[in-house]
Structure formats: C-alpha cells, structure tokens
A and B are shown apart, each in its own frame.
Chain A
Amino acid sequence: MAELISTSGLTKSYGDKLAVDAVDLSVHEGSVYGFLGPNGSGKTTTIRMLLGLIFPSAGAIEVLGHSVPKETTRVLVDVGAVVEGPGLYPTLSARRYLQRMSRYGRGERRRAIASIAPGERPALAPDIDAALEMVGLAKVGNRRVKAYSLGMKQRLSLANALLYPRRLLILDEPTNGMDPQGIVEMRELILRLAAQGTTVFVSSHILSEIEQLCTHVGVIQHGRLLFQGEIGELRGQLPARLAVGTSDQVAARELLRSRFGLQPRTDESGLLVMDRGGVAIDEIAAALVGAGIGLYRLAEDRSTLEEAFVALTGEASDVS
C-alpha cells in the first residue's frame, strides 16, 4: 500500500520551545489513522504543517507523493480537510459558503485535472448537494450559518472537505462540540468513506471516540510521537486481562492457581482479575464448570486501549 503521508524528522520550534519534535509519521493508503494526544501535545501544529499552513523548522513532509509546503496547493486538490473547528462566514448560507470555497479552489483544481489523462479526469465542478446530503444538512442548506449550532457548523466544515471525491481526508478534532448523536453519525460517515477507499487521518484527544474507527494509531505527547502502528499492536503491548465472577470465589481462585498457575486477585467489585497469559478463555471456563463452580461472569477487560494510552503517556486521554 502506498504511503499517503510521510514525514521525517518533522520539527517545529517557537523560540526555544519545541511544539513538534522530530515526528516521523507514516500513513498508508486505505487506513483510518487515529492521531491521538492530549490538548497542546502538538497534534494541531503537525496537521497544519501537513496542510502547508505552518512552515516546519526542520524535517520533510510528503503528502500524496508531493512535497509540502513546496507543492501545497497541488496536494490539497486531492485532500479534504477540517482544521481545528469551522471557519465560516456567518452571513452566508451553507450552500453559498460551499460555492465560495469551491470557486476559490477552482483554478488550482483545473490545473491539477489537466495533468490527468482525459479518460480518467474527475469532475471539475463540486457536488454541493451531495456534500450537504452526506453530512445531513441538505434541509437547512439555505439557512444563514449564524443560526447554526456548533455541531451543525462542524458538519458544514466536513461538507466542505467532501465537495469532491478525495484520496485523503485530514480531520482535526471533527467531533469537537458535537452532541453524542452527532458523534455517532460522524463515526458512521467516516467508516462509510473509509469503506469507499478514502484514507482518513483523524485526530482526537478523546480515545474512546475514535477507538472503534481506527485501523492505525499514532500517539503524540509533548511534541513527540510515542507510538505508531496498528491498533491491535497498541492493545498487544498490555497483558491480556481476564475478570471472573463465580459462585465460590475462594475455590475458583485456588483452582486457577493450582491448575493453570495464574495469579488472580480480587478487585473492588469482588471479581477475580488476572493476567491469563497464554491460557485460552474456553479452557478456563471448562475447568471452572467441571469443578462444579457456578460461572456467571467471564470477561476480557474492555478498557485496555485506554490503559495502553495511559501506560504510554502517563495520563488519561480525555484530559482537556
């Protein structure tokens, strides 16, 4: 798979302060890449450098095979972006806003299309109706933006990123300010786009919001990239934990200790919690039931990704 975003030694300093410190990003085609980090960790600065809005102090950036910031405008023809909240004209309607944005980008898009073989050229004109439909604003598209809620504004910003079929979407905190329902819809939309083959680079400071979306994760803190890889790999860094609830916790603990050599301990809710190591769950279940102990709960810990995050960064993901 082609590398759509690749940075090497990407650094941005303001005076003596390093906002981004030698970051090597690698985002492959077809992936949904979650870019995680607390607020102020350098996420937004990195994303702005990818989009040519901020000039790096050192390092190199390639997006879609083009160098940034040198070929920024060419790159952005194929990139849809939502950057840190919406930037809208309060007095314009959503439809009029999308029209304005597409007219601004028209010249650059025409030039980019001209370099593509005539049979394979994408449409020059944007599909404003489809973009509004996709984000669920079709019915209010003629209303002035100043009457919109923050969630609606965020959706309109996303519609702007979806004016044309894109190879890459770069979304910086797209769920900011959205209600739970909106967050669910946004997630579904991103999954739908990913299924259609769009590569998505999405940042968030709330792990749980994008946990179910991502195939890949990058974790950044204090400007440093702490982890980058498949999401399972991040989970795999932590021992697999098992919680067991039985009718006789004392007997169960003794059995697990003697039969499998596990070290269960009792947590605050009375469950037996242990690192099951290489022992299969069905084996454990069969042994307990076989010994006549009533098994009413057997679960792998669901919060492992969050714990992995905490283990990496030393703080919870949702601190803002």
Chain B
Amino acid sequence: MFLEELGYVVKRRRTLVSFALLAAIPIFLGVVLDIAGTPGGNGHGPGPVFFDRVTHNGVFLGFTAVLTAQLIIIPLIVSIAAGDSIAGEATDGKLRYLLASPVSRTRLLALKSLVALLYATAAALAVVLVGLAVGAALFPVGPVVTLSGAQISLLDGVGRLALVGLLAGVSTFSIVAVGVFASTLTDSTIGAAAITFGTVIVLSILDGIPQLAHIAPLFLTHYWSTGIDLMRSPVVWSGILKNLAEQAGWMVVFFGAAWARFTTKDILS
C-alpha cells in the first residue's frame, strides 16, 4: 500500500511539474550569477543569504537556493500536495472506492500523511541537490566558510548543507499537518491547498508584527530562519530545537484534528 501510493505520487504529472519548478530555482540563480557575476562585487548585496559567496564557492548555491525556496515555493508546493491528500481522492468519487477496497480510514489517513511528509522532505532536498550540482558545474568548490568566519572542510560543508535542506523540509511538516486537516474538510484540492497556503502566508505576515511578538513563537513560520544556525561555529542548536518542537506541536494538533474529522465524516462524494 505504501509503495503503491509512493509510486502513484512519484509518477503524477503534478509531481513532475512541482519538482521541475523547485529545480528551476537553483538553476536560475546559478545561471544569473554565472552570466552577471555577483552584484556589487564582494560586498553584501540585497540578495538572499550567501548569495554573494556563490561565485567563489559553488556549494553556497545549495544554501542560497534552499533558503530562498523555503520562504514561498516550498510551502506552496507542500500546501498543494497536502491539500490534495484526501480531497484529491474525494474528487471524482475515488475515495469511496479506496475505502471499500477495503482500507481503514485511520490507515488511509496515516498513509497519505506519511507520503506528504516524505514529499515535503524530498522537495527541500531536491533544491539542495540541484543547487549543489549546478553550483559545482558552474563555479569552483572548496572548503566552506561559516557565518562565524570559521573554515570547515568541503565534506563538512556539504554535510551541513544536507542538514539545512533536511531542516527546511522538516520546517514544512506543520504545513503538511494543516494541509491534511484542510483536505479532510473539503472535497476540493484547490480549496484545501488555498486554506493551507493562506494560513502560512497570514502567519508569516503576523510574525512580523511587533504587537504580536508575545504569541509569535506559536506561529509555524516563527523558527524557519533558524536553519542557518547550522552554519555557525559552533552550531547554535537552541533555535533549531525550538523549531522542531514547534513543528511537532502543530503536527500533533492538526494530524489529530484530521484524524478526528476523517474517521467520523460521512463520505458523500
């Protein structure tokens, strides 16, 4: 059942288009930097973190790409995938046949959620992987300088890049939970995805309002930027751990709500 679902998702055209879009980010950034060079020479440009380092060390293309994609594109793609999880089956009446196949509602929900979580992780890692590949193809690669100015080996740098990518994926687990819950509320994939992505956007806007600072730590977007703490020497773990706790909290609440809803819902589609 798991392999079936994984295979089904992997072969879908929507998956292909989504991952092509994700891969386009590092490719686009890399090509632009290769043609135009770093804006403002070796100074700090207005671009994303590490943007100005890419032409000196291709490894940074992976960082720049994933930290950029993490803000809008990955949440969007994850919102669509999670919103599709149950609602996508409900359209055209497929859900009733899946349940009659038979499979218990709890197992179906768990399966769909697990695949969506893997999808989210794969989305972030795809950006990292393509970024690293494009960076290595277009620019020199070598030992990596952390934000603290310390030099670490290329292998260590790539390892941290992988962790940053993994963390960017895990940072969207809360989105998956919200999306799966929204997906149990409606039979429309677009509707569920819109609710989910809308939630992310609204929370990220509210996160920047000083008057809400005392509740901002509850927002799922609040600790997203802590991924770059992996690039400090020594690594600062406190923010990363808070992010993991944040994601876990949202997952428990919204996967729980999705379960409560889906296992008691009349399937009318």
Listed stretches A25-33, A97-105, A186-194, A281-289; interface member: A97-105
Listed stretches B71-79, B99-107, B252-260; interface member: B99-107
- Report if B93 contacts A (CB, 8 A): yes
Chain B residue at smallest Cβ distance from A163:
B101
> Are B101's CB and A102's CB within 8 A?
yes
Known: A103-B1, A104-B1. A55 touches B101 (CB 8 A): no
- Tell me which residues across on chain A come within 8 A of B209, comparing CB atoms: none
- Tell me which residues across on chain A come within 8 A of B267, comparing CB atoms: 48, 53-54
> Are B93's CB and A54's CB within 8 A?
no
- Report if A200 contacts B (CB, 8 A): no
How many chain A residues touch B (CB < 8 A): the figure is 34
- Tell me which residues across on chain B come within 8 A of A89, comparing CB atoms: 92, 94
> Are B103's CB and A73's CB within 8 A?
yes
Known: A54-B267, A87-B97, A89-B94. A104 touches B103 (CB 8 A): yes
- Report if A52 contacts B (CB, 8 A): yes
> Are A100's CB and B96's CB within 8 A?
no
Known: A55-B264, A106-B1. A101 touches B13 (CB 8 A): no
> Are B96's CB and A83's CB within 8 A?
yes
Per the 8 Å Cβ criterion, residues 61-117 of A in contact with B are 72-73, 75-77, 79, 81, 83-91, 99-108
> Are A104's CB and B92's CB within 8 A?
no
How many chain B residues touch A (CB < 8 A): the figure is 25
- Tell me which residues across on chain A come within 8 A of B13, comparing CB atoms: 91
- Report if A273 contacts B (CB, 8 A): no
Instruction: Write the nearest CB–CB distance from B103 to chain A, whole angstroms.
Output: 5
**Please, how many angstroms separate the alpha-carbon atoms of A104 and B108 in the complex?**
9
> Are A100's CB and B102's CB within 8 A?
no
> Are B96's CB and A73's CB within 8 A?
no
> Are B93's CB and A107's CB within 8 A?
no
**Please, how many angstroms separate the alpha-carbon atoms of A85 and B92 in the complex?**
9
- Tell me which residues across on chain A come within 8 A of B104, comparing CB atoms: 72-73, 108
For B229-269 the 0/1 string (1 means CB < 8 A from A) is 00000000000000000000000000000000000101110
User: Which of B8, B13, B97, B103 has the most A CB atoms < 10 Å from its CB?
Assistant: B97
**Please, how many angstroms separate the alpha-carbon atoms of A54 and B1 in the complex?**
24
- Report if A51 contacts B (CB, 8 A): yes
**Please, how many angstroms separate the alpha-carbon atoms of A91 and B9 in the complex?**
12
**Please, how many angstroms separate the alpha-carbon atoms of A107 and B101 in the complex?**
10
- Tell me which residues across on chain B come within 8 A of A221, comparing CB atoms: none
- Report if B20 contacts A (CB, 8 A): no
- Tell me which residues across on chain B come within 8 A of A75, comparing CB atoms: 102
> Are A87's CB and B103's CB within 8 A?
no
- Report if A160 contacts B (CB, 8 A): yes
Chain A residue at smallest Cβ distance from B99:
A53
- Tell me which residues across on chain A come within 8 A of B94, comparing CB atoms: 87-89
> Are A107's CB and B92's CB within 8 A?
no
> Are A108's CB and B264's CB within 8 A?
no
Instruction: Write the nearest CB–CB distance from A105 to chain B, whole angstroms.
Output: 4
Instruction: Write the nearest CB–CB distance from A301 to chain B, whole angstroms.
Output: 40
> Are B92's CB and A101's CB within 8 A?
no
Chain A residue at smallest Cβ distance from B103:
A104
- Tell me which residues across on chain B come within 8 A of A103, comparing CB atoms: 1, 3-4
- Tell me which residues across on chain A come within 8 A of B117, comparing CB atoms: none
User: Which of B1, B3, B93, B101 has the most A CB atoms < 10 Å from its CB?
Assistant: B101
- Report if B193 contacts A (CB, 8 A): no
- Tell me which residues across on chain B come within 8 A of A86, comparing CB atoms: 93
Chain B residue at smallest Cβ distance from A81:
B100
**Please, how many angstroms separate the alpha-carbon atoms of A52 and B103 in the complex?**
11
Complex partner residue of B102 from A77, A85, A88, CB under 8 angstroms: A77
- Tell me which residues across on chain A come within 8 A of B92, comparing CB atoms: 87-90
- Report if B98 contacts A (CB, 8 A): yes
Known: A84-B93, A88-B94, A160-B97. A72 touches B102 (CB 8 A): yes
| 6 residue pairs bridging A and B, Cβ less than 8 Å apart | A73-B103, A87-B97, A88-B92, A90-B92, A100-B8, A103-B3
Given contact pairs A107-B103, A157-B97, a sample of 14 additional A-B residue pairs in the complex whose CB atoms are under 8 Å apart: A52-B99, A53-B266, A72-B102, A73-B102, A76-B100, A76-B102, A81-B100, A88-B94, A89-B94, A100-B8, A101-B97, A101-B98, A104-B108, A107-B1
